[in-house]
Amino acid sequence: MKTCGVVKVDGIIELPEYMVGKIDPTTISVQLTPIASYQELFVDRIEYGARVIVRNAAGGAINAYYEVNAEEKWFTSDV
């Protein structure tokens, strides 16, 4: 599954409902591309497989494109 967009000053990427609970959190990968100026961006943490927290090591404002990819969970039936 995949989602993309722009992350702004707060540095929070909220994953869409179609991903939350349906992806394997251990497979989440995040690509960040700064907009307009150099930024030392990194993923600080991923909360509950639903929210990605991005930070700028240089301490400046965050303005970047993001792309998040993750593998779907495979559910099995106990029937």
- Contact partners, residue 12, CB within 8 Å, separation at least 6: 51, 52, 53, 54
Q: How confident is the model at residue 74 (pLDDT cuts 50, 70, 90)?
A: confident
Residue range 19-49, pLDDT digits in tens: 999 999 999 999 999 999 999 999 999 999 9
Tokens of 63: 């303005």
Domain borders along the chain are 2-69
Mean pLDDT taken over the chain? 93
